[in-house]
Structure 1
Amino acid sequence: MNPVHLETLLAVLDEGSFEAAADHLAVTPSAVSQRMKALEQAAGRVLVRRVQPVTATEAGEILAQAARRMRLLQAETDAQMSDRLARVPLNVAVNADSLASWFRDVIAEVSSWDGSCLRLRLEDEAHSLTLLRRGDCVGAVTREAAPVSGCDTTPLGVMRYRALACPVMKEKYTLSDGTLDWSAMPALRFGPKDAIQDADLQGRLDYTPPNRRISEIPSSEAFLDAVRLGLGWGLIPDQQSAPLIASGELVTLDERVLVVPLYWQHWRLESPLLQQLTDTVVTAARHHLDPFDDTEVTPGVNVLQEPSGR
């Protein structure tokens, strides 16, 4: 298929509309429309849904993944021939808590690579594989161990989450018998896809009370601040909470620990740049995350541990 048409397909999907793709490609919207029609005629399939934003059909996802592979290989071929790195965008899916903590080492390392750039897609670690399947990214931080078709998986380590609140909130919702009133205490959630917080009352209450006070804070850093400021309690990873616990700004509400295993899934592709990215992600994760412990976690499964399981 025409490489120009494939690049146009990627521009339409990445930018979200034919008009934005035209600006990105420095052509007219009419030219974008004509290229897309030609590509769909060659494929014999409708490739995109003409909605806002534009989304790929199943056939479009297959072609988009192939186009991204071709782009990466072409860029690396050009780099080898010219003895320099081309400007290769590395599309990566990563969850908010990782981005706010250990993944910063990846950003720092990639910044030293001549010509390369990162395009990060913020996605819950349970949903990031969808982006891999669609060809929207070359790699993803995920809690799924089973590899997507055409991808390889590397264990990264585990993040441990604890129920935390500011001291005033804990005191306010501590009952006369010393237990916490979990049903009344306001809680925080990252967003509608927050699988970590979905089971927040597991083992704490036998049921989920109706009309719970739950605030949504769709930012890892702001979520931590909201807990610190007393808007609600939340499950916070050790990598973020340790300094605030040490200073007394946050306190633990119980001794339960949610163990979340993380994996790096990436395209199975003979690509020096993708291998360099993989090495960087693995090194950063192993420097900051806790190692896997077979007594704590089964690969690909979240485990809520009692204190004795640590």
Structure 2
Amino acid sequence: MDFAQLATFQAVIDTGSFDAAARELHVTPSAVSQRIKALERSVGQVLVRRAKPCVATPAGEALVRFAGQVALLEREALDQARDGTRISIVVNADSLHTWFLPALAAVPGPQYELHTDDEHYTADLLRSGTAMAAVTADEEVVQGCRIERLGAMRYVACGRPDATAAVLYNRKDQLQHRARDMSEMSVHYVPSASAYIEAIRLGLGWGMVQEWIAREDIAAGRYHDLGRHLDVPLYWQYWRIGSTVLEELTAAVKAAAAPFLRI
């Protein structure tokens, strides 16, 4: 359906005449008449009773409701596109727990909606359109997006040398499986970035800890370095739409990540 024709139809019903609708839309009365006739041809029904005032016919009444719904959605979209911009971002829990929030604080103004997922799955929300940007381990560029390499997050295997259990964030977490043979180990799932670290400190099991946290804890004697490490490359992918806010946020994300990630 032609939305210009639909908006013209709504203006005629709201104002009660073709002339008043023309003034509201800043077009000629002839243009209003042509749009209404074209709309009526497309639906095969007379939609406007030409009277004083103009009113919708029974066939046009359904379109009055539909036109109002479309206008409401349009206003909401425009509101979000202005100062009330809402930016939806998906980020892995470790980045969110450590370096990511200062990037958001550096770009005030937008409303942020954050989602968390394993870094190997975060790009899925970009593909689905749920998120506008993502911190991800996926180096395959999502269609319609730009990609920036942030660096590599190093994880160190930490815990007690005699640990027979492993601590994982959730069932998507495969870092421990990549670092050691897990076939003979029991597993604890602790889906909180801070609680995950605390579980290893308390001896619940061993796990993969971000390098800078591990360095401090090992020096303090909270647990041991078990002699394995893994580097996980991270990327920033975001919609390629020429948005000033997304460009500013990209610069802030790169600056915030730099002290925590290896080049």
Tell me the distance in 2 between the aligned counterparts of 1:96 and 1:198: 18
2:98 match: secondary structure: coil
Does 1:138 find its partner at 2:135?
no
Structure 1 residues 50-76: Cα deviation after superposition (integer angstroms, max 9, x where no partner)? xxxxxxxxxxxxxxxxx9xx94x8645
Shift of 1:109: 1.6
Confirm or deny that 1:248 pairs with 2:248: no
Does the 8 A contact of 1:158 with 1:260 survive in 2?
yes
SS at match of 1:275: helix
Q: Distance in 1 between matches of 2:254 and 2:79?
A: 26
Match of 2:172 among 172, 178, 193: 193
CA distance in 2, matches of 1:250, 1:118: 36
- Alignment gaps of 5+ in structure 1: 3-33, 43-66, 79-85, 174-183, 292-310
Deviation at 1:146, TM superposition (A): 1.6
Per-residue CA deviation, residues 27-50 of structure 1 (Å, 9 max, x unaligned), is xxxxxxx9xxx7xxx9xxxxxxxx
| 1:214-256 deviation digits (Å, cap 9, x = unpaired) | 10000111000000001000011113222212211121012x2
Secondary structure of the residue that 2:94 maps to in structure 1?
A: helix
What is aligned with 1:272? 244
Q: Write the distance in 1 (CA, Å) between the matches of 2:195 and 2:260.
A: 21
TM-score by length of 1: 0.58
Equivalent runs, 1:68-147 vs 2, <5 Å: 71=77, 75-76=80-81, 78=82, 86-110=83-107, 113-114=108-109, 116-147=110-141
Q: Secondary structure at the match of 2:232?
A: strand
Matched position secondary structure for 2:125: helix
Whether the 8 Å contact between 1:126 and 1:195 is mirrored in structure 2 is no
Give the unaligned 5+ runs of structure 2. 4-61
Match of 2:183 among 186, 192, 208: 208
- Provide the alpha-carbon RMSD of the alignment: 2.6
**Inter-partner Cα distance in structure 2 for 1:218 and 1:198:** 17
Deviation at 1:195, TM superposition (A): 2.5
The 5-angstrom pairing of residues 33-72 of structure 1 reads 71=77
1:262 Cα deviation from its structure 2 partner = 0.3
Per the alignment, do residues 189 and 134 of structure 1 end up closer, same or farther by CA in structure 2, a change over 3 Å counting? same
Query: Per-residue deviation at 1:271?
Result: 0.6
CA distance in 2, matches of 1:190, 1:273: 32
SS for the counterpart of 1:273 is: helix
Q: Is the radius of gyration larger for structure 1 or structure 2?
A: 2
TM-score between both structures, scaled by the size of structure 2 = 0.68
Q: In 1, Cα distance between the equivalents of 2:79 and 2:144?
A: 19
Contact 1:143 1:263 in 2 (8 A): yes
Contact 1:160 1:260 (C-alpha < 8 Å) held by counterparts: yes
The structure 1 segments of at least 4 consecutive aligned residues displaced by more than 3 Å after TM superposition are 73-76
Give, in whole Å, the separation in 2 of the partners of 1:128 and 1:244: 29
**Structure 1 residue 199, shift from structure 2 partner:** 2.2
8 A contact 1:160–1:238 mirrored in 2: yes
CA contact (8 A) 2:104 2:252 kept: no
**8 A Cα contact 1:191 1:216, kept in partner:** yes
Aligned-pair identity (%): 36
